[in-house]
């Protein structure tokens, strides 16, 4: 940049160098200004005017700005567009700047108000109410690698929740998919492609990911000598925590947000799901993006934002521990069985503010009097809920455990109740939030200020009479303070030397004056008002400290209220849809009677249609169902609904079925549909094979798998061969419960050799040339695919359908004459036997090679040996 830059521009460029790749919001009076490329980018994203200010290197400097009072709205749009923002505030007043210039011997005309970056605003470090979605957690995650083990630290600084865990590198994408972080911090040089595609990425110095530093910082934050009371944390976990805390310290410029004691998350307590399964089942978002038509949209009946966030967490990480699931189900059952209690509870919960996020803003130093009021009202409401529940009989264990967290804040609520006005304002700079009677000295200052204002009103009336000027007014602005204003035609009356008025300013149509009496009254108002504001600010700090001192207890109350909201919402949803309480066991079963897909059923109900329920009965003797039938017949829906029923049950809720007996599932896999991932160089078929490979390598006997149309992305022979081999592997090696939908009728022959496999199909029939889809599941193999009928139903031109019919007739005739595509498949050995035969063949080859004396072979002997080995391998 040019050396002739103005002092202001030099200051800006210094701060911009510190901001790095963040957009710099540079405070100038009532605006945040942006310059150079920052201005161009912000103007484009925000659709605001791009102007110029001065020159740099002979070129105009691009500039745009946003008002300080409306900055949050603009910040929200920038963050949503993937930008990160550095906030540079004025850290001294103009008066302080002039005093500093005087001390330094600098001419006051050249002094520049000091500015500094006070905060970095990023996707994962938001606490402002206007920037956060009420019903969605805002997670920040940090990842690192310690000797081949990945450490993960995640927190939501808007509520303080913090979690640490570790995993093998192959499991990291699944872990991050579960967390759903909006921003991920990783060491420089990290392979970012493994971290997901939806989160903002920030790379930081490797040195910040220190397990020693992480441990020291956690101890300091929570004031403990050891972390043992919080759980057992590995070095990988602590290293990730070190990176996370260093980033938070950087983003907050030394001001740490609310962080509750961390907990170590174990993998064996929750059902595992990979990223593809989550996307396929549309748990928190549909594949089109957004919450609409997702599982949570169909299930969520929470009346608070905190409850909705906890429900999303439950659905993202279903439990795999029977006692924990039963505890949640018992509370839902208790509330389901008592509609009156449930209604009363939902009424009380609906009125409660989000005290978890209010607490987060206060502890982070970004709180307002309104946040203090929310803490007061939320804790008072929690106490009312406690009093409603404390004397009820037969309380389930989880409710019994929640009750103590709903009370115990009497001293704090009394303090906040007496100190605050009923509806505190969102801004504290103008005061007015401390209640009358709380501080008598403050009341006196307010009285002085009020009396002075009344005195000014009386003064205005007296001046009007004395000068015979009815249009005289006493006004106030931020530059002149109080002044007397009269129309220009009456100014001569006040200009007289003995009038008692002093001329201050002449306007186009008015003239402004001052008087000694007005000056004295204005001084009293300013002094009393300033002292009153200072007193209110002092009280705000005291009240905020009182809240911060009970941060963990308040957070516990917020968590208890959220759990009650989730449970009452689950009970309400079950009551609406006639859902049932699932029976959970350790047996390898899945016995669902009249199961339904919650999302599809809700969509059909909205259009006045009825969902066709279907049963599903898997056991150790019948663990693999091969499901055939036409497209649009309901195969994919049937597969997904059973996976979702398992997920809902293990999340601790009722399920859309007449009855459900569910054996615990440790891993849930869904390979239903596929799409290109061109960014990673993968075609649709490659994506399908990658997902199938993950299932075959990870699924165990306690897993549940749904597979839809494996092998359809390649040639018929290749596809059938792959589908056949995958089904055999699921049956023989993985031995998990599985629903396998396919159009390959030839695979029905597997039922002859796989004793735990059974055949099923979705029913359809043709009536007068039209296809009728019944959406009912029946036993036995499908007789045909009805592909041409579906094509006709979809609007494929009649000549094309007719031509396809003639081609199909010819193909079927050829298959009948030659024995069909599956001819000879029934003679194949079982999957395990084939593996054994291949192993025997490899052993024979190994023995032959080991017996060779290579040094004694002539070139001719060696060539003969290669030919013989090739013949034995069957490659002619």
633 annotated as ligand-binding: yes
440-542 fold: MutS, DNA mismatch repair protein; Chain A, domain 3 (1.10.1420)
Is residue 244 within 8 A of residue 640, CB to CB? The reply is: no
The 3-state secondary structure of 622-667 reads ECEEEEECCCCCCHHHHHHHHHHHHHHHHCCCCECCCEEEEECCCE
pLDDT at 876: 45
Residue 635 assigned as binding residue: yes
pLDDT tens for 709-732 read 887 777 777 888 898 999 999 999
8 close to 33: Cβ distance less than 8 angstroms? no
pLDDT of residue 689: 87
The predicted pLDDT at position 837 comes to 60
Residue 631 marked in a binding site:
yes
Helix H or strand E encompassing 761: strand 757-767
- The confidence band for 194, taking pLDDT boundaries of 50, 70 and 90, is low
> Mind spelling out the 3-state secondary structure of 127-184?
CCHHHCCCCCCCCEEEEEEECCEEEEEEEECCCCEEEEEEECHHHHHHHHHHHCCCEE
Lowest mean pLDDT among 324-338, 598-612, 808-822: 808-822
Same fold flag, 7-121 and 583-827 = no
* Cα distance between residue 658 and residue 318, in whole Å: 21
Give the three-state DSSP class for 121: strand
How far apart CA 218 and CA 49 sit, in angstroms, is: 46
pTM for the model stands at 0.86
**Architecture in CATH for domain 312-409+550-577:** Orthogonal Bundle (1.10)
Tokens describing residue 708: 């839809």
Q: Per DSSP, what are the bridge partners of residue 627?
A: 741, 760
* 870 marked ligand binding residue: no
Of the ranges 57-71, 151-165, 651-665, 712-726, which one carries the lowest mean pLDDT score? 712-726
How far, in Å, CA of 789 to CA of 631, rounded?
A: 10
User: What are the pLDDT digits (tens) for 240-265?
Assistant: 999 999 999 999 998 899 999 999 99
Q: Is 636 annotated as a binding residue?
A: yes
Residue 801, CA distances (Å) to 630, 744, 793, 805, 813 in order: 16, 21, 10, 6, 18
SS3 label, residue 383: helix
| Alpha-carbon span 231 to 212, nearest angstrom | 17
Burial of 763 (0-12, 13-18, 19+ CB in 10 A): middle
The reported pLDDT for the residue numbered 840 is: 64
* Cα–Cα distance list, 141 to 361, 381, 555 (Å): 19, 33, 21
CA distance 651 to 326: 10
Count of other CB atoms within 10 angstroms of residue 770 = 10
Alpha-carbon distance of 786 to 806, in angstroms, equals 15
874 has a pLDDT exceeding 60: no
pLDDT in tens, 369-403: 999 999 999 999 999 999 999 999 899 999 999 99
> How far, in Å, are 288, 614, 641, 775 from residue 634 at the CA level?
20, 10, 10, 5
The torsion angle over the Cα atoms of residues 643, 644, 645 and 649, rounded to 10 degrees, is: 110
Closest to 448 (Cα-Cα) out of 537, 369, 521, 513: 521
Chain centroid offset of residue 458 CA: 59
Question: What is the residue-averaged pLDDT of the chain?
Answer: 88
In this predicted model, what pLDDT tens digit does every residue of 51-88 receive, in sequence order? 998 877 778 899 999 999 889 999 999 998 989 999 99
Give the three-state DSSP class for 864.
helix
Q: Which of the listed ranges 34-43, 603-612, 680-689, 838-847 does the model predict with the highest average pLDDT? A: 34-43
Written as six digits, the tokens of 152 are 């993960």
Report the alpha-carbon distance of residue 736 to residue 704 in Å, rounded. 6
Question: What's the distance, CA 267 to chain centroid?
Answer: 20
What contacts 24+ positions apart, CB below 8 Å, involve 213-221? 213/242, 213/245, 213/246, 214/153, 214/238, 214/239, 214/240, 214/241, 214/242, 214/243, 214/244, 214/245, 215/241, 215/242, 217/241, 217/242, 217/245, 218/245, 218/262, 221/245, 221/256, 221/259
Distance CA 781, CA 758 (A): 9
Residues constituting the chain: 876
Q: Give dist(CA 184, CA 735) in Å, integer.
A: 37
Is 122 within 8 Å of 23 (Cβ atoms)?
A: no
pLDDT at 830 over 70: no
Helices (H) and strands (E) in the chain, counts: 28, 27
Q: Which residues contact 330 (CB under 8 A, 6 or more apart)?
A: 396, 397, 398
pLDDT value for 833 = 59
pLDDT of residue 306: 97
Mean pLDDT check: name the lowest of 71-85, 160-174, 448-462, 827-841.
Answer: 827-841
Q: How large is the average pLDDT for residues 33-49?
A: 95
What pLDDT was estimated at residue 677? 47
Fold classified for 7-121: MutS, DNA mismatch repair protein, domain I (3.40.1170)
pLDDT category of residue 435 using cuts at 50, 70 and 90: very high
The span from the CA of 235 to the CA of 754, in Å, is 47
The CATH code of domain 132-267 reads 3.30.420.110
Q: Does the pLDDT of residue 576 top 60, yes or no?
A: yes
Task: Map out the domains of the chain as residue ranges.
Answer: 7-121, 132-267, 312-409+550-577, 440-542, 583-827, 834-872
Q: Are the C-beta atoms of 362 and 542 separated by less than 8 Å?
A: no
Q: Which of 54-58, 415-419, 808-812 has the lowest mean pLDDT?
A: 808-812
* Residue 7 CB-density burial (10 A; 0-12 exposed, 13-18 middle, 19+ buried): exposed
Per the CB < 8 A criterion, the answer to whether 66 and 32 are in contact is yes
- Domain 583-827: which CATH number of 2.40.50.1070, 3.30.470.20, 3.40.50.300, 3.20.20.140: 3.40.50.300
Give tens-digit pLDDT for 754-774. 999 999 998 877 666 566 666
């Amino acid at each position: 940049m040019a050396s002739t830059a103005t002092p202001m521009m030099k200051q800006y460029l210094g701060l911009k160098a510190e901001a790095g790749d963040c957009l710099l919001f540079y405070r100038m009076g009532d605006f945040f200004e942006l310059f150079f490329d920052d201005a161009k980018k912000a103007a484009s994203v925000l659709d605001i005017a791009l102007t110029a200010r001065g020159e740099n290197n002979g070129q105009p400097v691009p500039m745009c700005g946003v008002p300080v009072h409306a900055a949050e709205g603009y910040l929200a749009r920038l963050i949503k567009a993937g930008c990160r923002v550095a906030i540079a505030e004025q850290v001294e007043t103009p008066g302080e700047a002039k005093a500093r210039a005087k001390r330094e011997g600098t001419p006051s005309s050249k002094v520049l108000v000091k500015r500094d970056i006070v905060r970095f605003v990023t996707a994962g470090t938001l606490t402002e109410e206007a920037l956060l979605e009420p019903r969605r957690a805002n997670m920040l995650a940090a990842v690192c690698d310690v000797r081949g083990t990945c450490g993960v630290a995640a927190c939501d600084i808007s509520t303080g929740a913090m979690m640490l865990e570790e995993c093998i590198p192959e499991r990291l994408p699944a872990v991050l998919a579960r967390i759903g972080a909006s921003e991920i911090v990783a060491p420089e040089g990290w392979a970012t492609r493994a971290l997901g595609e939806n989160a903002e990425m920030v790379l930081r110095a490797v040195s910040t990911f220190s397990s020693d530093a992480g441990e020291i910082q956690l101890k300091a934050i929570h004031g403990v000598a050891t972390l043992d009371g919080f759980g057992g944390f590995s070095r990988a976990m602590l290293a990730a925590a070190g990176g996370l805390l260093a980033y938070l310290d950087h983003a907050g410029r030394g001001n740490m947000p609310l962080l509750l004691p961390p907990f170590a998350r174990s993998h064996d307590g929750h059902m595992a799901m990979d990223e593809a399964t989550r996307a396929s089942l549309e748990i928190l978002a549909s594949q089109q993006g957004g919450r609409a038509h997702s599982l949570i949209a169909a299930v969520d009946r929470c009346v608070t934002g905190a409850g909705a966030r906890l429900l999303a967490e439950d659905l993202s990480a279903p439990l795999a521990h029977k006692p924990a699931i039963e505890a949640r189900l018992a509370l839902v059952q208790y509330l389901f069985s008592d509609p009156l209690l449930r209604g009363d509870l939902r009424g009380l919960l609906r009125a409660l503010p989000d005290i978890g996020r209010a607490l987060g803003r206060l502890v982070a130093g970004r709180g307002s009097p309104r946040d203090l009021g929310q803490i007061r009202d939320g804790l008072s409401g929690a106490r009312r809920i406690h009093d409603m529940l404390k004397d009820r009989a037969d309380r389930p264990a989880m409710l019994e455990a929640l009750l103590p967290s709903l009370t115990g804040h009497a001293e704090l609520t009394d303090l906040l109740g007496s100190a605050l006005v009923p509806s505190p304002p969102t801004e504290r700079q103008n005061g007015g939030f401390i209640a009358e009677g709380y501080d008598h000295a403050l009341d006196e200052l307010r009285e002085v200020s009020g009396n002075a204002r009344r005195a000014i009103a009386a003064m205005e009336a007296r001046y009007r009479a004395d000068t015979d000027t009815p249009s005289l007014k006493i006004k106030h602005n931020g530059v002149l303070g109080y002044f007397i204003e009269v129309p220009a035609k009456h100014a001569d009356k006040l200009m007289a030397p003995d009038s008692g008025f002093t001329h201050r300013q002449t306007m186009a149509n008015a003239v402004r004056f001052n008087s000694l009496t007005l000056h004295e009254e204005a001084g009293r108002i300013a002094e009393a008002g300033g002292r009153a504001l200072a007193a209110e600010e002092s009280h705000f700090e005291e009240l905020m400290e009182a809240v911060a001192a009970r941060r963990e207890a308040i957070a516990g109350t917020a968590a208890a209220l959220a759990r009650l909201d989730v449970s009452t919402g689950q009970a309400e949803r079950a009551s609406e849809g006639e859902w049932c309480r699932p029976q959970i066991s350790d047996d390898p079963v899945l016995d669902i009677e009249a199961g339904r897909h919650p999302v599809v059923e809700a969509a059909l109900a909205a259009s006045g249609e009825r969902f066709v329920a279907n049963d599903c009965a898997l056991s150790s003797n019948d663990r693999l169902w091969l499901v055939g039938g036409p497209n649009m017949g309901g195969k994919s829906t049937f597969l997904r609904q059973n996976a979702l029923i398992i997920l809902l049950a293990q999340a601790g809720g009722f399920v859309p079925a007449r009855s459900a007996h569910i054996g615990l599932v440790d891993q849930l896999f869904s390979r239903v549909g596929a799409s290109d991932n061109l960014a990673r160089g993968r075609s649709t078929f490659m994506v399908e094979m990658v997902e199938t490979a993950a299932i075959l390598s990870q699924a165990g006997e306690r897993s549940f798998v749904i597979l839809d149309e494996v092998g359809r992305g390649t040639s018929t022979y290749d596809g059938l061969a792959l589908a056949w081999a995958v089904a055999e592997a699921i049956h023989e090696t993985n031995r998990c419960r599985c629903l396998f939908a396919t159009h390959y009728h030839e695979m029905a022959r597997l039922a002859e050799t796989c004793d735990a496999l059974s055949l099923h199909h979705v029913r359809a029939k043709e009536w007068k040339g039209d296809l009728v889809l019944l959406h009912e599941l029946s036993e036995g193999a499908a007789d045909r695919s009805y592909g041409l009928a579906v094509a006709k139903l979809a609007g494929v031109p009649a000549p094309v359908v007719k031509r396809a019919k003639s081609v199909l007739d010819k193909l079927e005739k050829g298959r009948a004459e030659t024995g069909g595509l599956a001819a000879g498949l029934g003679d194949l050995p079982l999957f395990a036997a084939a593996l054994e035969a291949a192993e025997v063949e490899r052993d024979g080859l190994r023995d032959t090679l080991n017996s060779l004396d290579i040094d004694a072979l002539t070139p001719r002997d060696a060539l003969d040996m290669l030919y013989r080995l090739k013949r034995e391998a069957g490659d002619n």
